[in-house]
Structure 1
Amino acid sequence: MNGKMHSETGAFSSDGMRAEILNPFVHKLELDNTYDKIKTAIFTVILLPFRVIVICYLIVTAWFLACIGLYGLSEEDLRRKPMTGWRRALKPLICFIGKMSYLAGGMAITIRGRQASRQEAPILVVAPHSSFLDSCIVYATKMSSVIVRKESMDNYVGKLINYTQPVYVWRDDPNSRQNTIKEIIERATSKEDWPQVLIFPEGTCTNRSCLITFKPGGFYPGVPVQPVIIRYPNARDTVTWTWEGPGALKLLWLTLTQVHSSCEIEFLPVYYPTEDEKRDPKLYASNVRNVMAKALGVPVLDYTYDDCKLAARAKQLGIPGATAAREVSELRGQLGLERSQLELQLAAQGSRARWVAPEEFAQRLGVPYNAQSQRLFDIFVQRASGMVYFPDYLLCACFLSLQHSSIAQLLSYAFKLYDQSCGGRLNLSSFEEVATRCLGLCQEDALHTFRQADLDEKGYITYDEFISYAQKKSELSFIFASDTSHHKPKAQ
């Protein structure tokens, strides 16, 4: 049987109608039966070592050639003018070796259509972006210049990336976006013979179930672009690398233990922008996305990289409904659930039932029992009971309302939500609920934390007591950061 790729949630398209597709940031890969497991184990022993050795040899060879080609050139030289002469003549050889490294791993790369020249289309727009293996597009496009995070250069493939004469992005630099757009415009409109600029406008990896919002950076120059689509038509999807799913090493292992896999790269006709699109990069990006989605046969969804970060942060902390954070936010908006109503629901929680059925869930929200409220219920439902633990919904709603605030502020609500007496005092059981849902702690770490914070051994702690304790612990410093998207909760 084939591996399964599925999602815990659905999603909504930009017009508010339900799109029966996968959550774009979730990928689940399973070895379905004993046969698959035995086959994978056998190929791990007899096939994987050989492939790894050959691939390493090819990559080292390509890296060595890149080092030769870059000899005597500084980073500033690479950004000032395009390579010429013998340095440029090395590119076809490096591309050939790169393609051979994929073939050595059992992946055949098929190219359809014709790559336009730089004069026809200075920019190549590639989607969907779903895997680190998408890097094969660099070899397939004769080493076009990629948009790359500067921190990604601190590894052994840095020389190969530098050989494409990339456009650098410092993702945490507040001026990086403007500087990147400026450099893309300069490259695309230059009279010099630069390589084509290659962009992945989605900005993050998805599971290819849809095309998410295209970032407009590559469309600011207002020049023609060539859309390029990538497919992986394999029986088992061992390449998709999303925020929730198998890690890179597991995917690489499972891919290299397949007898054969394939990647299809298709060059679509050059897209020439209208005057309106030249004036509006977002419109230009949206229309190109529509063309690519039609060619792929998938819908478009207005999800962004920021939505991905929000879901990742929620999952990291243990927030209920984390992977559907964007959808929960959309549903709340469609149901007219504003912040003021959330405050009323929080205030009334203590005197109400904690477990609710679908109709009561809608009643508690003060909204009609319809498709939207049912979908919101389904996101938080406990399968064993068929009911929703209402504090879990309220906590997720608080997280979305306070997403730019510190975790400490979220905790102030959580202490009230999970205390059945509504006094803001949590016993061990209630604190474990909060710690696993707001702090990303496991049960053992939550128990240890509770015992340390309960100095008087009263059997409960208040919010103020916990905050006082947390302020003295460096491993809990993330609680007080105003933006924890780059801070991972640490277990004690």
Structure 2
Amino acid sequence: MEIEYLPIYTPSKEERENPALFASNVRKLMAKALELPLIDLSFDDREISLSHGPLSIHDDSSLLQFHQLVCCLGLRAERTDSLLQVQVQRARDLQGERVNLQEVSTFLNLSITHTLTEVHSLFDQRGDGLIDIRLFVIALSTVHRPSQAMETLKLAFKMFESEDNGYVLEEDLAAILEIMLGVRELDLSGLFSALSGPETAKITYAELHHFIEQHPHFVQDYLDFENHPRKFSQTKNCNGLNHGKED
């Protein structure tokens, strides 16, 4: 370990009057000396990065970006469980109808700004200017309570499940988990093969909750997605030797 002592930093008059400015300038000097980039992360961001549990966030990059935009919109203080429930009901009432930027601003009671446009674009998967507002609510719940993923999953089922039997279709569950885990190209064939029930393309919250409780390594063992950790652990051991099957 190498320790470098930087010159004593004496705050200017402006910095003495503004401690946040003082801290920011010292931080920049430290980053420059370490040759490291500056990344603005809050305490809430830390909670997102360190989420745990069977549905812990796999890749936090997109959710951290979303969270910072949400904070810029002033929605941090409004992220309460009761408000989420209201948004869940309003999103469910849309019955999967995709909405444009103006409708999103109405849904959130916000003016259209550059930041809101950025948020909207994060969910514009088809590039047609329309988004599924249910996915926004799921992302909001995920960053609001990153260590309570099962509560977010229950909330998601309320928006996507059939009114008749409480089932969520496989493709909808894939979309839900992609948002919650921060992954892409999620494949649920492993999960539904393990369930091996009469219905292989849909599932209830109770069934999924029970399955996850029985399989604490649910994500690692039953899901597949781009850059899944399983894909990086099959080929080499600690000595760098390839132990995969030979062709």
- Contact 2:63-2:143 within 8 A present in 1 as well: no
- Tell me what 1:378 maps to: 121
User: Which amino acid in the other structure matches residue 359 of structure 1?
Assistant: Q
2:59 is equivalent to residue 288 of structure 1:
no
- Contact 2:168-2:204 within 8 A present in 1 as well: yes
Change (3 A) 1:323 1:422: farther
Partner Cα separation in structure 2 for residue 453 and residue 302 of structure 1: 42
User: Counterparts of 1:108-257 in structure 2 under 5 Å?
Assistant: 161=1, 164=2, 197-198=3-4, 225-226=6-7
- Tell me what 1:349 maps to: 91
Please report the TM-score for the alignment, with normalisation by the length of structure 2.
0.64
2:152 is equivalent to residue 410 of structure 1:
yes
Of 38, 45, 54, the match for 1:307 = 45
User: Which amino acid in the other structure matches residue 87 of structure 2?
Assistant: Q
CA shift at 1:453, angstroms? 3.0
The two structures, once aligned, show a CA RMSD in angstroms of 4.4
Change (3 A) 1:451 1:309: same
- Contact 1:271-1:288 within 8 A present in 2 as well: yes
Q: Which has the higher contact order (CA 8 A, sep 6+)?
A: 2
CA shift at 1:311, angstroms? 5.5
Gaps of 5+ in 1: 1-160, 165-196, 200-224, 227-269, 295-299, 479-488
Change (3 A) 1:448 1:301: closer
Please report the TM-score for the alignment, with normalisation by the length of structure 1.
0.35
- Contact 1:355-1:389 within 8 A present in 2 as well: yes
Change (3 A) 1:453 1:306: same
Write the deviation string for residues 323-361 of structure 1: whole angstroms up to 9, x where unpaired.
513323313425874424332111122221531111011
User: Which amino acid in the other structure matches residue 330 of structure 1?
Assistant: C
SS in 1 for 2:193: helix
User: Which amino acid in the other structure matches residue 208 of structure 2?
Assistant: F
Partner Cα separation in structure 2 for residue 304 and residue 330 of structure 1: 10
Partner Cα separation in structure 2 for residue 304 and residue 402 of structure 1: 14
Partner Cα separation in structure 2 for residue 331 and residue 378 of structure 1: 15
- Tell me what 2:106 maps to: 363
- Contact 2:99-2:130 within 8 A present in 1 as well: yes
Partner Cα separation in structure 2 for residue 308 and residue 328 of structure 1: 16
CA shift at 1:459, angstroms? 4.5
2:200 is equivalent to residue 462 of structure 1:
no
User: Which amino acid in the other structure matches residue 386 of structure 1?
Assistant: G
Change (3 A) 1:274 1:400: same
- Contact 1:399-1:410 within 8 A present in 2 as well: yes
- Tell me what 2:180 maps to: 438
Change (3 A) 1:423 1:287: farther
- Tell me what 2:137 maps to: 394
Structure index of larger Rg:
1
| Number of positions where the alignment pairs a residue of Structure 1 with one of Structure 2 | 212
SS in 2 for 1:384: coil
Q: Which has the higher helix share?
A: 2
- Contact 2:157-2:205 within 8 A present in 1 as well: yes
Gaps of 5+ in 2: 33-37, 221-227, 232-247
Q: Which has the higher strand share?
A: 1
- Contact 1:318-1:437 within 8 A present in 2 as well: no
CA shift at 1:474, angstroms? 3.7
User: Counterparts of 1:47-126 in structure 2 under 5 Å?
Assistant: none
Change (3 A) 1:442 1:384: closer
Identity between Structure 1 and Structure 2 (%): 19
Write the deviation string for residues 94-121 of structure 1: whole angstroms up to 9, x where unpaired.
xxxxxxxxxxxxxxxxxxxxxxxxxxxx
